């Protein structure tokens, strides 16, 4: 087998003189190749090196050149990373595409792809329609940074996702591209990066209006017309954009979608299974637009046929009822292959919410006796049985556990209220036949607030005959952001109509199971609680309903399931015999969550461990104070003698008796070793809130070979502005 040529640290000069760093993989066979471009801020020379080498090596064997670019101001690229998804970053990508087209090993055709951040950059580039960009493969990405990203959801400020990620980027962005203290200008260049790179968190805290998040939200730009293959997961944070982009494709545009049961991990190795061969799918599909030359490896005839088959435009997984679990290896269900979105043929079936906590598919009778009103209260610690982030991920993040514990907490709060009330929880009778849904359930409710703010977190669950409640989907809304004129305070005592779309989902409720809906005022540890201990009284009349996007097991669905059985990339359910995904290797049974223990960060004054670790602790302290602790760490290798260690931990504390005073402490350590040289960056930060403001504080300390090199302290008060 011929060797691939790998070019490291290729310097590409931008319009303002900034040089970006790229690694390039060129196939040995053939002279002119299409190029696949991936753009990330995650350090290609150490943190991402092994993953890049594996992925781009496979790309080269298929006849493609691969280009992995460090974002401006990250890794070995020069410049300053002022924020994620900046205008400079997008313009850089357009210039790199133009540069790639002119290289002697290029056939002039470029495709862009990437997971998460790289998926965003692919969409952003395609929206600008640069010459030579012929196709994109965005995976787990968003078209709307206000409605569907980690910073807020439904106008509620997120906590566990955005602040943990932002803290890790402070440490990562503080690292030099490499350690070269004897090279002229190296110290000065690195010091400039340290002095001018801001903590991204501050910019995110300041932006409170939907309009402030429209930059590089491609939903608000002209439709993307070049061919697009999307990869999404029902348990990821970004299924809404993938289905929205699929269903809004311009007439004649080539647009395909693979949507499985996965969290924010690769369909090859992530959970829950069954998995799918996303890479051979993507390459077989790209072959149609990129014209790769004959290569060491190529698509099979079955793959070529499937990649062009209009009846396999959408490959989607229909999960069946299953037990709740934080880290399930696999979910039962079935693959469907079809031409158009099943959500577009769904019928809207209302599930009516009755007084007393019953739900049914029939409206309430007029003679129903008066019962205590259902009330949604701001209990900041409620929701810990649910997922730890809006989109699940690697340990310790995970999916929802059994939701019965959350129901018990909500009922206890209702029982302790000064006047009779019920928790806002409804459960249907047992189903007599299978119920299939695909699309976005929609909650309609009339509520009366007791104050000027309020929020609703809606969770749809599947209740098994033994009473266990597995979460199907969820949605949330800060009522201050219910209209375009946001933030818009509520009027105490004045009822309003609320419409809340839950996250897009497919699910098959089994006969004998029941549907369950619970409404919370916060979701711990996903959301930052609003400042007041509000109460929202729900009107349980004929207009109170959860409308379900029901589909039928008709000939279209049966034909799609039959067609999927022969698809070359889809793995089918193995049930109880499924092997644990590689992402869960070494996970101890019963280790998540635990109820004791301290944050497991290593001794940062001494040696750092090689073994990865992750911890999720939930501690209920004296009174109403609840603490969540997360920790993750591990080591990655670069070139010979180069290793990067990172550990990230945060402690998030809420007080049910005083929602305004919430706090989150972050602690991030990065260590880069290259031979005898060592760089360490330690960022210790805190975000606190009171009734009016967020207080942000972060101290960054950097050493070179044990000697102090740089220190920065950021402090700022940011108005809460309805959040």
Per-residue confidence (pLDDT) for residue 611, from 0 to 100 = 44
Domain end call among 533, 548, 563: 548
Same domain for 149 and 126: yes
> For residue 120, which of 79, 85, 166, 68 has the smallest C-alpha distance?
85
Domain end call among 323, 343, 363: 343
Same domain for 154 and 299: yes
Give Cα 304 to chain centroid, integer Å. 31
Same domain for 153 and 170: no
Within-domain flag for 508: yes
**pLDDT reading at 592 higher than 70:** no
Q: Which domain holds residue 395?
A: 348-548
Same domain for 272 and 134: yes
The pLDDT confidence band at residue 2, using thresholds 50, 70 and 90, is low
Same domain for 615 and 532: no
The 10s digit of each residue's pLDDT in 136-159 is 999 999 999 999 998 989 999 999
Within-domain flag for 587: no
Mean pLDDT in residue range 88-105 = 97
**pLDDT reading at 574 higher than 90:** no
User: 117 — phi, psi (to 5°)?
Assistant: -55, -45
Same domain for 244 and 234: yes
Within-domain flag for 213: no
Same domain for 357 and 327: no
Per-residue confidence (pLDDT) for residue 108, from 0 to 100 = 97
- Give the DSSP letter of residue 524: T
Same domain for 249 and 193: no
> For residue 142, which of 61, 186, 84 has the smallest C-alpha distance?
84
> For residue 403, which of 469, 476, 321, 502 has the smallest C-alpha distance?
469
Q: Classify residue 182 as exposed, middle or buried by CB count within 10 Å of its CB (0-12, 13-18, 19+).
A: exposed
> For residue 624, which of 658, 597, 596, 664 has the smallest C-alpha distance?
658
**pLDDT reading at 682 higher than 60:** yes
Same domain for 183 and 314: no
Within-domain flag for 563: no
The 10s digit of each residue's pLDDT in 277-324 is 999 999 999 999 999 998 888 999 999 999 999 999 999 999 999 999
Within-domain flag for 568: no
The 10s digit of each residue's pLDDT in 14-66 is 999 999 999 999 998 888 999 999 999 999 999 999 999 999 999 999 999 99
Per-residue confidence (pLDDT) for residue 585, from 0 to 100 = 44
In contact, 49 and 638? CB cutoff 8 Å:
yes
User: Any idea which of 130-144, 380-394, 420-434, 460-474 has the lowest mean pLDDT?
Assistant: 380-394
Same domain for 512 and 410: yes
CATH number at residue 236: 3.40.50.1820
Per-residue confidence (pLDDT) for residue 591, from 0 to 100 = 38
The pLDDT confidence band at residue 231, using thresholds 50, 70 and 90, is very high
Q: Classify residue 663 as exposed, middle or buried by CB count within 10 Å of its CB (0-12, 13-18, 19+).
A: middle
User: Which stretches of 156-277 are DSSP H helices?
Assistant: 160-174, 186-196, 200-206, 239-247
> For residue 387, which of 215, 582, 526, 208 has the smallest C-alpha distance?
526
**pLDDT reading at 579 higher than 70:** no
Per-residue confidence (pLDDT) for residue 604, from 0 to 100 = 41
How many alpha carbons lie under 13 Å from residue 545 in its C-beta half-sphere?
15
Within-domain flag for 496: yes
Cα 267 to Cα 688: distance, rounded to the nearest angstrom:
37
Per-residue confidence (pLDDT) for residue 96, from 0 to 100 = 98
Within-domain flag for 572: no
Cα 605 to Cα 434: distance, rounded to the nearest angstrom:
59
Q: What percent of the chain has pLDDT over 70?
A: 92
Same domain for 620 and 532: no
pTM comes to 0.94
Per-residue confidence (pLDDT) for residue 265, from 0 to 100 = 92
Within-domain flag for 559: no
CATH number at residue 452: 2.60.120.260
Domain end call among 289, 316, 343: 343
> Can you read off the two tokens belonging to residue 43?
């350090």
Tokens 């992402």 — which residue?
583
**pLDDT reading at 115 higher than 50:** yes
Same domain for 398 and 335: no
Q: Domain count for the chain, please give it.
A: 3
- 13 or 269: whose pLDDT is higher? 13
């Amino acid at each position: 087998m011929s060797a691939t040529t790998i070019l490291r640290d290729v310097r590409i000069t931008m319009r303002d003189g900034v040089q970006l760093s790229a690694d390039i993989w060129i196939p040995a066979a053939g002279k002119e190749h299409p190029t696949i471009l991936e753009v990330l801020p995650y350090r290609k020379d150490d943190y991402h090196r092994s993953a890049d080498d594996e992925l781009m090596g496979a790309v080269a064997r298929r006849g493609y050149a691969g280009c992995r670019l460090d974002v401006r101001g990250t890794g070995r690229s020069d410049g300053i990373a002022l924020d994620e998804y900046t205008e400079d970053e997008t313009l850089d990508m357009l210039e790199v595409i133009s540069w790639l087209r002119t290289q002697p090993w290029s056939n002039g055709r470029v495709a862009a792809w990437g997971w998460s951040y790289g998926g965003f950059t692919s969409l952003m580039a395609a929206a600008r329609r640069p010459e030579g960009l012929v196709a994109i493969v965005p995976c787990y990405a968003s078209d709307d940074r206000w409605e569907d990203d980690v910073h807020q959801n439904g106008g509620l400020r997120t906590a566990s996702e955005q602040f943990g990620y932002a803290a890790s980027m402070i440490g990562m962005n503080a690292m030099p591209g490499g350690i070269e203290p004897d090279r002229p200008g190296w110290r000065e260049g690195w010091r400039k990066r340290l002095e001018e790179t801001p903590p991204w968190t501050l910019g995110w805290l300041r932006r409170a209006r939907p309009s402030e998040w429209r930059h590089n939200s491609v939903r608000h730009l002209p439709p993307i017309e070049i061919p697009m293959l999307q990869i999404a997961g029902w348990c990821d944070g970004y299924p809404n954009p993938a289905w929205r982009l699929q269903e809004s494709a311009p007439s004649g545009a080539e647009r395909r979608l693979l949507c499985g049961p996965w969290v924010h991990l690769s369909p090859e190795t992530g959970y829950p299974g069954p998995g799918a061969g996303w890479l051979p799918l993507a390459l077989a599909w790209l072959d149609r637009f990129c014209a790769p030359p004959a290569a060491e490896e190529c698509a099979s005839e079955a793959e070529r046929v499937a990649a062009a088959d209009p009846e396999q435009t959408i490959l989607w997984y229909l999960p069946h009822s299953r037990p709740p679990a934080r880290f399930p290896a696999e979910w039962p269900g079935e693959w469907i292959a079809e031409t158009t979105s099943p959500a577009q043929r769904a019928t809207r079936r209302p599930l009516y919410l009755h007084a007393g906590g019953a739900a049914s598919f029939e409206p309430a009778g007029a003679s129903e006796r008066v019962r205590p009103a259902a009330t949604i209260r701001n209990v900041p610690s409620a929701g810990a049985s649910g997922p730890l982030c809006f989109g699940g991920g690697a340990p310790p993040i995970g999916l929802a556990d059994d939701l019965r514990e959350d129901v018990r907490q909500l009922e206890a709060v209702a029982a302790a209220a000064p006047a009779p009330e019920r928790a806002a929880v409804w459960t249907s009778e047992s189903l007599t036949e299978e119920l299939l849904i695909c699309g976005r359930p929609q909650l309609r409710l009339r509520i009366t607030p007791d104050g000027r703010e309020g929020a609703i977190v809606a969770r749809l669950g599947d209740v098994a005959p033994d009473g266990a409640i597995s979460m199907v989907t969820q949605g949330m809304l800060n009522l201050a952001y219910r209209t375009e004129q946001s933030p818009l305070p509520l009027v105490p005592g004045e009822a309003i109509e609320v419409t809340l779309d839950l996250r897009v989902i497919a699910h098959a409720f089994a006969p004998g199971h029941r549907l369950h809906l619970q409404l919370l005022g916060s979701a711990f540890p996903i959301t930052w609680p609003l400042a007041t201990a509000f109460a929202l009284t729900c009107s349980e009349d004929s207009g109170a309903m959860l409308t379900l996007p029901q589909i039928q097991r008709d000939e279209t669905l049966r034909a799609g399931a039959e067609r999927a059985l022969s698809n070359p990339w889809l793995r089918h359910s193995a049930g109880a015999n499924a092997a644990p995904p590689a992402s869960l290797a070494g996970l101890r049974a019963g280790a998540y969550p635990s109820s004791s223990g301290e944050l497991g960060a290593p001794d940062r004054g001494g040696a750092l461990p090689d073994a990865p670790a992750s911890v999720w602790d939930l501690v209920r302290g004296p009174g109403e104070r609840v603490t969540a602790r997360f920790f993750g760490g591990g080591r990655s290798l670069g070139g010979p003698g180069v290793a990067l260690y990172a550990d990230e931990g945060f402690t998030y504390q809420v007080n049910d008796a005083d929602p305004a005073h919430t706090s989150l402490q972050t602690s991030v350590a990065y260590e880069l070793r290259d031979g005898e040289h060592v760089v360490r960056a330690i960022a210790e930060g805190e975000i606190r809130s009171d009734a009016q403001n967020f207080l942000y504080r972060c101290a960054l300390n950097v050493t070179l070979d044990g000697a102090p090199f740089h220190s920065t302290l950021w402090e700022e008060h940011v108005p809460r502005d309805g959040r």
